[in-house]
Structure 1
Amino acid sequence: MLKVIIVAISLLFGTSCQSNTKKTESPVRETQKKKEIVKLSVQELDNYETAYFASGCFWCVEAIFESIKGVKEVVSGYSGGTKKNPKYEQVAAGKTNHAEAVKVYYDPEVISFTALVQVFFGSHDPTTLNSQGPDHGPQYRSIAFYKNENEKKTIESYIKALEENDVYNGRTITTQVIEFEKFYDAEAYHQDYERKNPNNSYIRNVSIPRLNRFKENFTDYLKEDSNH
């Protein structure tokens, strides 16, 4: 039976993901530099499963999935549209059908796809159509991608469980359940953006509070160095 997780959603307003984009990184404390994540090679990542989600600004979403045990790497990017090789400026301006999304590499022997779906729904508000917190537009819509029928059934069953338990107090879940087709990596400066830019106003006021709220509700899923 799918586990229903009730999470209070209360994102802060006033700043937005796109208005605070900078290609220069904010200063990072020496202690943070020592905690640089060791990146796996493409060949090593090929040994793991992949899952794809969209739930608002990918800076936030990437950091959330990176904190989960069994997740080996998370890549920020674009998916859900048809335009080839989209650029951030195009996506952020709503000029493509793509949403800001993440590609999650995970070890299925440590964490299941079902658990990742729980993380997805438990870390954002899936009832806000084409928006998440201070970010508005179809590029910030909620999407759960599936690569096969089993994943599709898992997502749909979890949505049904959320609805039957009225987790969102009568509000309609607007999450799109879409067959995965193509994922485009975002520009290099977007990768690990939250970790590299702790002084960015959006990161301080929106991303970090969102990540901390998530951690409070998913303590059993966190990596040891994330559970603090």
Structure 2
Amino acid sequence: MSKRTTGLLTLIAAGSLALAGCGPALAAENHVRAPVAQVKAKESGLKTAVFAGGCFWGVEAVFSHVKGVKSAKAGYHGGTKRQADYKLVSSGITDHTEAVKITYDPSQIRYDQLLRIFFSVVADPTLRNRQGPDRGAHYNAELVPLSAEQRKVARAYLAQMKRSGTWDKPIVTDIVPAKTFYEAEDYHQNFAAKNPDHGYIVRWDAPKVAALKEFYPGVYRASFLKD
């Protein structure tokens, strides 16, 4: 998130937002209704899953508003414990991607439904090594299944997405092997809830939550998860 740190977002007179010192405002992200999964997840009991979809602030914010999600933790996936440090990860020199580990109740929200939400309002599956205004491999969109069932469903859904014609560009999001997930520093946890007026949250993440509410009102929860 070096671009968030070095290029804080500010309001401009017209009511749109721009990256300070970076010229005109960037175009808004496009949110699309991803297709309903043809392969449904068959799970019971509380489950966990890891999603990497660019800046973990927005990924966490969206899943925090999904009914059935019991916890959402921002963190780092793919590298070593020594590398699991914000300054190192944001420099782009580690093997980590910013990610979010969620715990969910499949009786309320299934894994395939989480995938649909993820690709509808969180991550653009046609982008590699970037999402929104952020650039670098640590912002890549990745699925990290934590069980054979999740892996099967994820593979089927990506294949379905490629056939669907919903996106004009090729689907490039990957499924990656699960490695140790390291929770990010405390100040990154529940960042959107604690900092609703932060420029980055207003510009990039609040619209994701708004799209969740618009697209999937049946699973939308108005309040953030609490610690």
**TM exceeding 0.5:** yes
Q: Deviations over 1:132-165 (max 9, x none)?
A: 0100000100000012222111011111111111
Q: Deviations over 1:2-31 (max 9, x none)?
A: xxxxxxxxxxxxx9434369xxxxxxxxxx
Please list, as runs of the form range in 1=range in 2, the aligned pairs for 1:45-124 lying within 5 A after superposition: 48-82=46-80, 84-123=82-121, 124=123
- Paired residue type of 2:79: G
- Percent identity at matched positions? 36
- Which SS does the other structure have where 1:121 is aligned? helix
8 Å contact kept, 2:83–2:89: no
- Which SS does the other structure have where 1:221 is aligned? coil
Indicate the residue corresponding to 2:139 in structure 1: 140
- Paired residue type of 1:139: H
8 Å contact kept, 1:20–1:201: no
Closer/same/farther in 2, CA of residues 70 and 144 from structure 1, 3 Å limit: same
TM-score by length of 2: 0.76
Structure 1 regions of 5+ residues with no counterpart? Answer: 1-14, 22-46
Structure 2 regions of 5+ residues with no counterpart? Answer: 9-44
- Which SS does the other structure have where 1:100 is aligned? strand
Q: CA deviation at 1:223?
A: 2.1
**Count of matched residue positions in the alignment of Structure 1 and Structure 2:** 186
Indicate the residue corresponding to 2:32 in structure 1: none
Indicate the residue corresponding to 2:4 in structure 1: 17
Please list, as runs of the form range in 1=range in 2, the aligned pairs for 1:145-184 lying within 5 A after superposition: 145-169=144-168, 171-184=169-182
User: What RMSD, in angstroms, separates the aligned Cα atoms of the two structures?
Assistant: 2.0
- Paired residue type of 1:178: V
Indicate the residue corresponding to 2:186 in structure 1: 188
- Which SS does the other structure have where 1:158 is aligned? helix
TM-score by length of 1: 0.76
